Amino acid sequence: MTSAPRHLLVVDDDTELCQLLSEYLLPEGYDVESVHSGVEGVERALSGDHALVVLDVMLPDVRGFEVLRQLRAHSRMPVLMLTARGNEQDRILGLEMGADDYLPKPFNPRELCARIEAILRRSGNERGAIDLRIPGDLVVDDISINKASRLVRRRGETIELTTVEFDLLEALVRNAGSAIARDELVRTVLNRPFSPFDRSIDTHVSNLRRKLGPGPDGLDRIKSLRGVGYQYTLRHPSGAQEK
Amino acid sequence: MRLHIKVFLWFWLGVVVVSGTLIGLTELTHSRAQDDRLWQEKYGPRVDLWARQETHILRTQGSAVLEEYVGSFQADPGVLNYMFDASGHEVFDREAPKPVLSIVNALMQSSGWTQHVDPVERIIAERAIDANGTPYVVVVDFPEPSVLSRPLFELLSADFSGRPTRASAVRLAAVIGVAGIFCFVLARHIASPIDRLRLATKKIAHEQLGTRIDRDVLNRGDELADLGRDFNGMADRIETLVTAQRHLLADVSHALRSPLARLNVALGLARRHSGPGVAEHLDRIELETERLNTLIGQLLTMARVDSGVGLERWSVFDVGTLVDEVATDADYEARARGCVVAVSGERNCLVSGAADLIRSAVENVVRNAVRHTADGTSVDISLERRAAAGRPSVVISVRDHGPGVADKIVPRLFVPFFRGPHADNNQNGTGLGLAITRRVFEVHGGTATAANADGGGFVVSLELPLYVEGGVGQPHSDTRSTPEEHGNAITAA
């Protein structure tokens, strides 16, 4: 990890919680700025001063989702949503709207740290520009994936993916034709230990499916294998090819 | 039958019956009297003439000729001609009906030429005396006029001939047709606001709380308009209450969880600065915080299900897939104790409901089973379709291989906060899981029951009505194309 503290933005109307969080996160290497309203949140998040936003769903002025929508219109900066526990809809909605991860509130601060770490590691890949292991484009059917620019194109047309969705697609395509277990996807893509009954990976997969659209033969590109995991379906035995 | 059609048919039938009765009654009173008079005026003198001729023929030419003569106008349908001699004996030995005989007896007592007319029985009798001074009684029995054949058609017929014609049928049809149109409009007038009220009620029940009855109904000025106004008042009230409830639940959730969130972070800080002996106590605090949080979550879920607030996202989904997903996760959890979770039975069971609530309800039961099943055993989940009383449903049975539960406390397991005898080694349970499960299934029109399984273990059965509209078969047909069509699907760029 870098020695210079990374700037985080926490958008939550609970001032005391913000205070405790900044106290907790400082020794972990994070410098926390807190704002307590949605409007302010959008404004500060778009300033480009922060590495990541921790965004609460329940805000006094505008819903957290609205903040996320406005933010996503201009920026792909990582967002971790804090949702009410037991409210599946909030979780799904958040991930659908492009949040990188979510954490039900109340949360364990260690868990928060781990999630922030994981997200930053992923987006660090993005900023770090080139992953030397795989030099060229991955091409499957009419989809091409450029590792360097982290761009995904379908018949030349760019598809907007979040960092999680990109990593997920890459993992699936690299193993195209064979299944990847859900717990493995959670570990490698979400960078966290698999816990049963956490269905966020499924939400990410269904978002990815929706964004990619059906394959050239009209079927889903990503197949769910019950009790196993997911598989990028190959229409051709030669597999995904690199150039 | 639809109210509209019902009201229409009843009104129509009413109109037809009433008009038919009126026509019939008029005919039976007024027309019958007139008819009787006409009949008497016409046949009274004729019978007098026939009586003279018949006595004359009998005296001069004998009974054989008379019989021939009588037979000649006997050809008129239904007309019977009798002749009695002074001893009351019928000349041709024929049986005469009772009313005829009584008239004959009465006439025999009188003297000279006397005519007796009975318009009700349509009998005319005459006491005749032949040239030898021998008295006879001549009786002509006419057929009764038919109520239906003539008068009803007389009213409608074009040519007054007494027989139905094409034109009369058209008139009859016209009367019934006009009555029909009138009744249809009337029925519509009554039934259409009821249909609208019904539609509005349905919408309210499906959480479209802004639904109101429109002005068309409210301006009618009758009881249905009052009903519409009462409905709107009720809808206002429900909307206010549900909205308030929704806000309250969100606020309660927020208010209860904010301190817990702070507590967790503070705990994290305390952990960082604590000495070695304190960690154990901090773990305990963390565990209790977690329990409190679970409890709050379940209480809120319970409140949401009860108030219908959690049911906004209603959709049609395959409960088989949902059970598979829950089972996969539970299996992962169970493997730690050498247990497996296996699913068998039907797939493609479409149901309609709030998928997230049903998922957590099923999850409650499955996780309970995993917790209670003995090490190294399996939890068996089976899906089975049933059609009790014509209502197709799917039953999800979750069976563990654990110690089971004493029979007498089985029914109480679904009571909120009931703690079973095994609760001591199950500190993670809040006592609400099964209660929530039952409420969720009941809200969806299903049931949740539990029993000890044959051969040990415990089985919870969850029943849910299948989604019927549009069929319960495969949701989308599998149109898999051949690989040749996309032979070069993956190529180098």
Question: How would DSSP label each residue in B75-122?
Answer: TSTT-EEEEE-TTS-BTT-----HHHHHHHHHHHHS-SSEEEEETTTT
**What is the distance between the alpha carbons of residues A82 and A93, in angstroms, rounded to a whole number?**
12
Q: Is the pLDDT of residue B109 over 80?
A: no
Cβ contact B135:B84 at 8 Å: no
Residues of B in Cβ contact (< 8 Å) with A227 = 324, 327-328, 331
pTM: 0.60
**What is the distance between the alpha carbons of residues A220 and A139, in angstroms, rounded to a whole number?**
17
Q: Which residues contact B444 (CB under 8 A, 6 or more apart)?
A: B351, B352, B353, B354, B358, B464, B465
B485: closest chain A residue by CA: A217
Q: Which two tokens stand for residue B153?
A: 């058609």
Give the domain ranges of chain B: 3-150, 224-304, 313-465
Homologous superfamily in CATH for domain B3-150:
PAS domain (3.30.450.20)
A196: closest chain B residue by CA: B329
Interface of A with B in 146-175 (CB under 8 A): none
Q: Which residues contact A234 (CB under 8 A, 6 or more apart)?
A: A140, A176, A177, A240, B489, B490
Residue of A105, A139, A196 with shortest CB distance to B330: A196
To the nearest 10°, the Cα dihedral for B118, B120, B123, B124?
Answer: 30
**What is the distance between the alpha carbons of residues A174 and A167, in angstroms, rounded to a whole number?**
10
**What is the distance between the alpha carbons of residues A120 and B80, in angstroms, rounded to a whole number?**
120
pLDDT of residue B420: 64
Q: How far is A227 from chain B, CA to nearest CA, in Å? A: 5
Residue of A16, A218, A239 with shortest CB distance to B481: A218
Antiparallel, parallel or unpaired: β B114-118 and A229-232: unpaired
B297: closest chain A residue by CA: A86
pLDDT of residue B29: 66
Residue of B260, B286, B490 with shortest CB distance to A239: B490
| C-beta atoms surrounding B284 within 10 Å | 10
**What is the distance between the alpha carbons of residues B145 and B163, in angstroms, rounded to a whole number?**
14
pLDDT of residue B464: 92
The 3-state secondary structure of B423-443 reads HHHCCCCCCCHHHHHHHHHHH
Cβ contact A148:A134 at 8 Å: no
Write the CA distances from A112 to A108, A163, B345, integer angstroms.
6, 18, 41
Phi, psi of B402 (to 5 degrees): -110, -160
B335: closest chain A residue by CA: A196
> Which H helix or E strand runs over B334?
helix B319-334
Minimum mean pLDDT range among A122-131, B42-51, B110-119, B439-448: A122-131
CB hemisphere CA count around B345 (13 angstroms): 20
B290: closest chain A residue by CA: A106
How wide is the angle at C-alpha A161 spanned by C-alphas A158 and A164, nearest 5°? 150
Most confident of A19-23, B42-46, B303-307, B354-358: A19-23
Q: Which residue of B249, B258, B262, B265 to mutate against A (max A Cβ within 10 Å)? A: B265
- Provide the ipTM: 0.78
Specify the DSSP class assigned to residue A26: G
Q: A197: burial class by Cβ within 10 Å (0-12, 13-18, 19+)?
A: middle
pLDDT tens over chain A, length 243 residues: 445 678 999 999 899 999 999 999 999 999 999 999 999 999 999 998 899 999 998 888 888 899 999 998 888 889 999 987 666 777 788 888 888 888 888 899 999 999 999 888 877 655 444 444 555 678 887 888 888 788 888 888 888 888 888 889 989 988 888 889 888 898 888 888 888 778 888 888 988 998 888 887 888 889 888 778 898 887 765 555 555
pLDDT of residue A140: 81
Write the CA distances from A189 to A168, A180, A183, B397, integer angstroms.
6, 11, 10, 35
Q: Is the pLDDT of residue B170 over 90?
A: no
**What average pLDDT score do residues B294-323 get?**
80
Q: Residue B267's pLDDT band (boundaries 50, 70, 90)?
A: very high
B367: closest chain A residue by CA: A197
Q: Residue B223's pLDDT band (boundaries 50, 70, 90)?
A: confident
Residues in chain B: 493
Phi, psi of A196 (to 5 degrees): -60, 160
Residue of B262, B356, B486 with shortest CB distance to A17: B262
**What is the distance between the alpha carbons of residues B153 and B169, in angstroms, rounded to a whole number?**
9
Q: B78: burial class by Cβ within 10 Å (0-12, 13-18, 19+)?
A: exposed
Q: Is the pLDDT of residue B181 over 70?
A: yes
Q: Which two tokens stand for residue A18?
A: 């913000």
Q: Which two tokens stand for residue B270?
A: 């305390």
Most confident of B172-186, B363-377, B478-492: B363-377
Residue of A84, A110, A202 with shortest CB distance to B253: A84
CB hemisphere CA count around A182 (13 angstroms): 24
pLDDT of residue B490: 36
Specify the DSSP class assigned to residue A1: -
Q: Which residue of B246, B264, B365 to mutate against A (max A Cβ within 10 Å)? A: B264
Answer whether B261 sits within 8 Å of A234, measured CB to CB.
Answer: no
For domain A137-242, give the CATH number: 1.10.10.10
pLDDT of residue A127: 47
**What is the distance between the alpha carbons of residues B121 and B123, in angstroms, rounded to a whole number?**
6
* Residues B42-99: tens digit of each pLDDT: 888 888 888 888 888 888 888 788 888 877 766 566 777 888 877 777 877 777 778 7
What are all long-range contacts of B32-38, with beta carbons under 8 Å and residues at least 24 apart? B32/B145, B35/B145, B36/B119
For domain A6-127, give the CATH number: 3.40.50.2300
Cβ contact B39:B31 at 8 Å: no
Homologous superfamily in CATH for domain B313-465:
Histidine kinase-like ATPase, C-terminal domain (3.30.565.10)
Whether A183 and chain B come into contact, CB under 8 Å, resolves to yes
Q: Over the range B227-244, which residues count as b (16 or more CB within 10 Å of their CB) and which as e?
A: bbeebbeebeeebeebee
Q: Rounded to an integer, what is the distance from CA A99 to the centroid of its chain? A: 6
Q: Which two tokens stand for residue B31?
A: 């027309």
pLDDT of residue B249: 76
Antiparallel, parallel or unpaired: β A151-154 and A143-146: antiparallel
Nearest to A80 by CA among A62, A96, A103: A103
Antiparallel, parallel or unpaired: β A241-242 and A137-140: antiparallel
Q: Over the range B40-49, which residues count as b (16 or more CB within 10 Å of their CB) and which as e?
A: beebeeebbe
**What is the distance between the alpha carbons of residues B27 and B284, in angstroms, rounded to a whole number?**
100
Q: Which residues contact B248 (CB under 8 A, 6 or more apart)?
A: none
pLDDT of residue B422: 57
Residues of A in Cβ contact (< 8 Å) with B485 = 217
Give the domain ranges of chain A: 6-127, 137-242
**What average pLDDT score do residues B372-391 get?**
88
Answer whether B490 sits within 8 Å of A21, measured CB to CB.
Answer: no
Q: How far is A69 from chain B, CA to nearest CA, in Å? A: 21
Residues of B in Cβ contact (< 8 Å) with A148 = none
Q: How far is B240 from chain A, CA to nearest CA, in Å? A: 21
B255: closest chain A residue by CA: A14
Which of helix, strand or coil describes residue B210? Answer: coil
Residues in chain A: 243
Cβ contact B348:B392 at 8 Å: no
Interface of A with B in 211-230 (CB under 8 A): 215-219, 226-227
To the nearest 10°, the Cα dihedral for A151, A156, A159, A161?
Answer: -20
